A and B are shown apart, each in its own frame.
Chain A
């Protein structure tokens, strides 16, 4: 009975989230720029267009989605296949742009019947990913303690974001200084090359004309 109630909760909770359409072999990627040690929870739900009833119905069991998550260094940190409904979780170990890619694993063309698959997606980042009901139950917190706990988590997330901002600013500064240096060196080198080529041209032509007894 508990399981049924939880299942009902899960199904109902995933009723309202942003959805989009995806083709059969299409791969949709989303980018999340997150600081270090941040947890991301993604929930998705798929629906297939039923031509007879002219509406979107929950997809059949055979249809699954392949979820691939890459970290900022292009290393795959999560690569798994889930069913027609799934929930994936990962924690970032390097700050930066993480890429979450989804594509359907259907190999049978008839499953889509030329239509599109509707995917409901919900991504919760950092503090929003916390399940406070669970935390309250586990640590036996009163309501007030839970509120304060939420504030602590929020402030934690803000601090992580600030550290990430410091790291990003350094990268930006390095890029700008690189550009400045390159422009400076290039100007000097270009002047030297111009002068050198000019001198070489004159000397070469002079010796050429002298050989031809025109000078």
Chain B
């Protein structure tokens, strides 16, 4: 019975400490997309967003707290980072708006992190001091997290640049084909028109004499 109670308690403890979500989504033109999160009081959360594809690679973003006070409001940003510690418990909202764009849809990457990282095993939450080996492991873990974050950053930047380069290739191809057609049309058209001028004149000359 005691064991059951203890394991229940441990499982419930596991609940209190949570992680984060990162995802990329497509934002159609003239659209707004909101994400919500229920947070406790005095919880630090970080929001990172980047526009990976579409138009001028910018988006409007605003963050509101449960009482609809605006915590962060930026227009036409390409990427940004926002940190805040909650002052009240409730539903926090992050919204992205593409309403200023008439026909380009955007792909936005969002990373919402809150709370502390959960411990690896329930039993690791004890408050006794860690051995040197454990401290080293924790230090390496933190550094590797930074490495992984930096890789994500570079991956997003690369995706952005690659999308631009692919757009450029497409535009160069279409423009080449278009200009070839235009050249032929103009070249032959000019000659036809010129011939038609002289044909008329000759007709009027014949009529006069």
Contacts and interface: CB of A to CB of B under 8 A. Distances in A.
A190 B181 CA distance: 11
A31 B137 contact: no
B207 interface: no
A169 B147 CA distance: 19
* Interface of B (DSSP majority class): helix
A158 B191 CA distance: 65
Contacts of A204: 191
B134 A165 contact: no
Contact of B120 (A122, A132, A155): A132
B159 A151 contact: no
A19 B11 contact: no
Interface string B111-143: 010000000111110000001011001101100
A30 B140 contact: no
A30 B8 CA distance: 34
A16 B37 contact: yes
Contacts of A186: 172, 176, 179
Interface in A52-79: none
Nearest to A21: B34
B90 to A, nearest CB: 13
B162 interface: yes
Contacts of B14: 9, 12-13
Contacts of A3: none
Contacts of B158: 165, 168-169, 172
Contacts of B168: 179
A165 B137 contact: no
User: Chain A interface: which size bin?
Assistant: 35 or more
A9 B162 CA distance: 43
A168 B148 contact: no
Given A8-B11, A21-B34, A144-B137, A178 B122 contact: no
B180 A193 contact: yes
Contacts of A209: 198
A32 B148 CA distance: 15
A20 B35 contact: yes
Interface string B154-198: 110011011001101100110010011001100100110011001
A113 interface: no
B38 A16 contact: yes
Interface in B29-59: 33-39
A144 B191 contact: no
Contact of A29 (B15, B25, B145, B195): B25
B172 A33 contact: no
Contacts of A148: 137
A91 interface: no
A121 B4 CA distance: 30
Given A143-B123, A158-B147, A165-B154, A5 B25 contact: no
Interface string A6-46: 00110011011111110000001111110000000000000
Nearest to B8: A5
B24 interface: yes
Contacts of A161: 148, 151, 155
Interface of A: 1, 5, 8-9, 12-13, 15-21, 28-33, 121-125, 128, 132-133, 136, 143-144, 146-148, 150-151, 154-155, 157-158, 161-162, 164-165, 168-169, 171-172, 175-176, 178-179, 182-183, 186, 189-190, 193-194, 197, 200-201, 204-205, 208-209, 212, 214
5 closest cross-chain pairs (CB), A and B: A197-B187, A31-B24, A147-B137, A12-B15, A186-B176
